[in-house]
Structure 1
Amino acid sequence: MSESIGKAAGLIWSFLDENGPASSTKITTVTKLTKSEVQRAIGWLACEGKLDFETKGRNETISLR
């Protein structure tokens, strides 16, 4: 399980590195990961201190730190 989370985290990190801030919905759509995979990977990256989160109104964007 942790190996698949690590792979998903790498995919998300690469996506954000190439494309800049994005919502979790956009990340899910573009990477073709499931919502659960995205949530787990975002949690992994957040615990490692690699992500920033910004909320404007109802929208939250995720970016690399």
Structure 2
Amino acid sequence: MEDMWGKIGETAGRVYHLLEEGEKSLSNIERSLRKEGYNTNIVKMAIGWLAREDKIFVLKDGNKWIIKLK
């Protein structure tokens, strides 16, 4: 069994760097990272990690979730 905390932390770092380019929708983040081999469930956990650390805003815009850095 792989180290889940390590994988979530690594993915959180990747999400953070992706958001440095500007705000993104959740589906855009998932699509971008899926192309790099990241699991979408881990991506969601990583976003939760960043939200818990108060590093990001998570906003609902109609049917879309928008994620951006604080």
Q: 2:25 maps to which residue? A: 23
Point out the structure with max Rg over C-alpha: 2
TM-score, structure 2 as length reference: 0.83
User: Which structure features the higher share of helix residues?
Assistant: 1
Q: Which runs of 4+ in 1 moved over 3 A?
A: none
Look up the SS of the partner of 1:49 in the other structure.
Answer: coil
Long gaps (5+) in structure 2: none
Q: 1:55 maps to which residue? A: 60
Aligned residues: 64
Look up the SS of the partner of 2:20 in the other structure.
Answer: helix
**Does residue 8 in structure 1 map to residue 11 in structure 2?**
yes
2:44 paired residue among 39, 42, 45:
39
Aligned-residue Cα RMSD (Å) equals: 1.0
1: distance between equivalents of 2:52 and 2:31? 23
> 1:59 Cα shift?
1.5
> 1:26 Cα shift?
0.7
Long gaps (5+) in structure 1: none
Aligned partner of 1:27: which letter? Answer: I
1: distance between equivalents of 2:42 and 2:20? 19
